[in-house]
Amino acid sequence: MAEKEISIIHPRPSSIVAALYTLRDLNVDVAIMHGPPGCSFKHARLLEEDGIHVVTTGLDENNFVFGGHDKLVQLINKSVELFNPKLIGIVGTCPSMIIGEEMHDAVLEANPDVPVIEVEVHAGYHDNTKGVLFALESALDAGIIDHKEFERQKYLLEKATEVEKKFGAASREYLAPSRGDVKYKAAQRVIQLLKEGKKGLVIMNAKKETGYMFADITLAVNEVAEALGNKENLINMANIDPELGLPRVRQHAEYITRDLKAHGVEVHEIIGGMDEYPIAGEKVSELIKEKYSDFDFAVISGVPHAIPMENIKNMELISITNGPRQVLPLKEMGHEYVLVEIDLHPKTLGVSGIVESEFGATLREVAKEA
Q: Considering only CA atoms, which of 211, 220, 219, 216 is closest in space to residue 242?
A: 211
> Residue 1 has what pLDDT?
44
3-state SS class at 119: strand
- pLDDT, position 369: 84
- Please report the pLDDT score of residue 3 as a whole number: 55
Residue 172 lies in a domain: no
Q: Per residue in 182-192, pLDDT tens?
A: 999 999 999 99
215 and 341 assigned to the same domain? yes
Query: How many folded domains does the chain comprise?
Result: 2
E strand or H helix that includes residue 177: none
| Cα–Cα distances in angstroms (integers) from residue 103 to residues 69, 167, 297, in the given order | 7, 38, 53
> Which residue, 220, 253, 214, is CA-closest to 234?
220
Each residue's pLDDT tens digit, 254-298: 999 999 999 999 999 999 999 999 999 999 999 999 999 999 999
Same domain, 115 and 217: no
Contact 96, 34 (CB under 8 A): yes
Query: Per-residue pLDDT tens for 325-349?
Result: 999 999 999 999 999 999 899 999 9
Tell me the three state secondary structure of residue 297. Answer: strand
Using the predicted structure, report yes or no on whether residue 308 has a pLDDT greater than 50: yes
Look at the chain and count its residues.
370
Within this chain, do residues 125 and 228 fall inside the same structural domain, yes or no? no
The pTM assigned to this predicted structure is 0.94
Average pLDDT over residues 13-31: 96
Strand order in the sheet with 200-205: 269-270, 234-238, 200-205, 297-302, 316-321, 337-340
Do 209 and 348 lie in one domain? The reply is yes
Instruction: Give the domain extent around 260.
Output: 183-369
Q: Assign residue 359 the CATH number of its domain.
A: 3.40.50
Mean pLDDT of the chain: 95
CATH number, domain containing residue 113: 3.40.50.1980
Rounded Cα gap, residues 193 and 317, in angstroms: 11
In a domain, 29, yes or no: yes
Cβ neighbour number for residue 346 with a 10 Å cutoff: 11
Place 4 in a pLDDT band, splitting at 50, 70 and 90.
Answer: low
Same domain, 46 and 97: yes
CB 98 within 8 A of CB 122: yes
Tell me what percent of the residues of the chain surpass a pLDDT of 90: 90
Domain co-membership, 228 together with 352: yes
Segment holding 235, helix H or strand E: strand 234-238
Please indicate, yes or no, whether residues 139 and 202 belong to a single structural domain of this protein.
no
Which pLDDT score, from 0 to 100, does residue 263 have? 98
- Give per-residue pLDDT as tens, 97-139: 999 999 999 999 999 999 999 999 999 998 888 999 999 999 9
120 and 223 both lie in a single domain: no
The pLDDT tens digits for 151-189 are 999 999 999 989 988 888 888 889 999 999 999 999 999
